[in-house]
Structure 1
Amino acid sequence: MPAASPATPAPPASMPSRAPRTPTLRRRLTCMLYEGVLLFGVLMAASAVYLLARPVLQRLGLDQPYVDQAWMFVVLACYFTWFWQRNGQTLAMQTWRIRLETAAGEPPHWTRALLRYVLAWLWLPPAAAVGHALGLTRGPFVGVLVAGLLVWIALAWLDPRRQFLHDRLAGTRLIDLRDPRDPRPASKS
């Protein structure tokens, strides 16, 4: 009769998965700056389209500053929503290895991506209202807008997972795609 071999415990059927890591605030802000550089080209192309359509808009009485601003808002919405619903990453997010996903770990559906885009602008109306209420113009008004944006970004420190408020409200999260075992030092938040 063959000798019995010592029993080895079978590995658990499902290993507990580690919660996804949130990118540091510093990496997210750097990614946002890089996104701004890329969006310069997108907005230049959108401006060219608007200028080509301007004669038609003038005949229709629609050549107003707010129409131009609304056009740029829609162009940016299309850019972000398309990339986020496609694979959860814009071009800058691919470079910085950051992805947007739902709680299920999937890229957001286009409606959730659009909701996130709109919610990401919630800092602007209160900041603009304060600037107008104080009667500020030009530089000081821009300063109030920057302060409003910084307060919005700083709210991420109040979230237990360091997510932005618009991510919390939209049911999305940003995750760090870098290998946690990467020997390169991680940046500090």
Structure 2
Amino acid sequence: MKYLIKRYLAVVYEALLLLALALALTAAYVMLLGDASHGWKRLGLQALLWLVMGAYFVRCWVVTGQTLASQTWKLKVVDQHGQLLDVQQAVMRYVLAGVLLLPAGLTLWWALLDREQQFLHDRLLGSRIIVLPPV
């Protein structure tokens, strides 16, 4: 259970980092294009946020297997062979995690029932989060 708590704390930390990124991007977008509360500007802002956050996650998972939050909590994303994800795997993980978060955080709840406490998107893709040994 300690492992699962650590992972959920990393999710909360990641959400706070992404909130700061989203606020900065939104401010810049609104300063450049004006009100983005409806129409194509709103859709453009949503697409920008989704793509920039995706680029952040994919780059982190492919280069080191760790985001800023997972570095703090000594966690790492690997494939079924213990190797770093390739770009295609990382993109699929980002997309699937996003889709599985939409129905009330399903992928996060799944970990409570999973025998290895993995998120549903990791179970489906064959990726997993491992705990790194203390340095």
State whether structure 2 residue 62 is matched by structure 1 residue 85: yes
- Where do 4+ consecutive residues of structure 1 move more than 3 Å? none
Task: Classify the secondary structure of the residue corresponding to 2:99.
Answer: coil
Q: 1:77 to 1:38 in 2, by over 3 A?
A: same
Once residues 112 and 8 of structure 2 are traced to their aligned partners in structure 1, the CA distance between those partners, rounded to angstroms, is 14
Once residues 57 and 94 of structure 2 are traced to their aligned partners in structure 1, the CA distance between those partners, rounded to angstroms, is 7
Whichever structure has more helix as a proportion of its residues is 2
CA offset at residue 170 of structure 1?
A: 2.0
CA offset at residue 51 of structure 1?
A: 2.3
Once residues 37 and 172 of structure 1 are traced to their aligned partners in structure 2, the CA distance between those partners, rounded to angstroms, is 24
Higher RCO (CA < 8 A, seq sep 6+):
1
CA contact (8 A) 1:23 1:98 kept: no
Once residues 3 and 94 of structure 2 are traced to their aligned partners in structure 1, the CA distance between those partners, rounded to angstroms, is 20
How does 1:176-187 map onto structure 2 within 5 Å? 176-179=131-134
Deviations 1:110-148 (A, max 9, x none): 1111110111122355x3xxxxxxxxxxxxxxxxxxxx1
1:76 counterpart (42, 53, 57): 53
CA offset at residue 84 of structure 1?
A: 0.8
Q: TM-score, normalised by structure 2?
A: 0.84
Q: TM-score, normalised by structure 1?
A: 0.62
Which residue of structure 1 lines up, in the alignment, with residue 83 of structure 2? 106
Which residue of structure 1 lines up, in the alignment, with residue 28 of structure 2? 49
Q: Which runs of 5+ in 1 are unaligned?
A: 1-21, 128-147, 183-189
Question: If you compute each CA radius of gyration, which structure gives the higher value, 1 or 2?
Answer: 1
Percentage of matched positions with identical amino acids: 35
Q: 1:158 to 1:78 in 2, by over 3 A?
A: same
Q: Which runs of 5+ in 2 are unaligned?
A: none
Equivalent residue pairs, number: 132
